[in-house]
């Protein structure tokens, strides 16, 4: 019986140590500063969208997981819950407007809501992919 208690104590200690390592190195990991990060690519919204629309595999291989700076004429600024999206509509598809959609950073919500439709704007964001209607960017910020 004493032997089992020692084994349980050792396994419990190892589990506790593993839990601490996971918290310190995975959960508590610092996140990149997307607002000040240098973009990997600078292009127009229509170039980014057409790359994905013409060849989704090529677009994913080139841009997914990268920070890109896109520029173009703004179509709309939308709010959904706590999120603010900057939208560039480039096509009317079967299910509605298609193009590039950028979810803005928390500190960029108010400045992005001041933007007007039709205004030329440059936005930087992290590309998460293409959902067959929109190229989706996260952590967006307005480039001054």
Q: What is the pLDDT of residues 121-141, one digit of tens each?
A: 999 999 999 988 899 999 999
> 83-93 and 76-80 as β-strands: parallel, antiparallel, unpaired?
antiparallel
- Contact call for residues 75 and 88 (beta carbons, < 8 A): yes
pTM score:
0.77
What is the predicted pLDDT for the residue at 17? Answer: 92
Residue numbers of the domain that contains 15: 1-30
- Tens-place pLDDT, residues 13-23: 999 999 888 88
Q: Are residues 89 and 23 in the same domain?
A: no
Tell me the pLDDT of the chain averaged across its residues: 89
> Which distant-in-sequence residues (6+ apart) come within 8 Å of 105 by Cβ?
34, 35, 139, 140, 141
Q: Is 36 within a domain?
A: no
76 in the same domain as 51: yes
In this prediction, residues 24-51 reach a mean pLDDT of 86
Q: Do 79 and 22 lie in a common domain?
A: no
């Amino acid at each position: 019986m004493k032997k089992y208690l020692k084994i349980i104590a050792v396994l419990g200690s190892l589990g506790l140590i593993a839990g601490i390592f996971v918290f310190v190195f995975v959960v508590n990991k610092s996140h990149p500063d997307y607002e000040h990060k240098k973009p990997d690519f600078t292009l127009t919204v229509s170039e980014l969208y057409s790359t994905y629309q013409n060849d989704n595999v090529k677009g994913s291989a080139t841009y997914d997981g990268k920070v890109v700076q896109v520029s173009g004429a703004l179509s709309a600024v939308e709010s959904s819950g706590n999120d603010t999206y900057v939208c560039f509509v480039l096509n009317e598809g079967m299910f509605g407007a298609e193009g590039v959609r950028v979810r803005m950073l928390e500190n960029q919500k108010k400045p992005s809501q001041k933007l007007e439709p039709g205004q030329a704007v440059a936005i930087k964001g992290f590309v998460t992919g293409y959902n067959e209607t929109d190229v989706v960017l996260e952590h967006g910020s307005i480039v001054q």
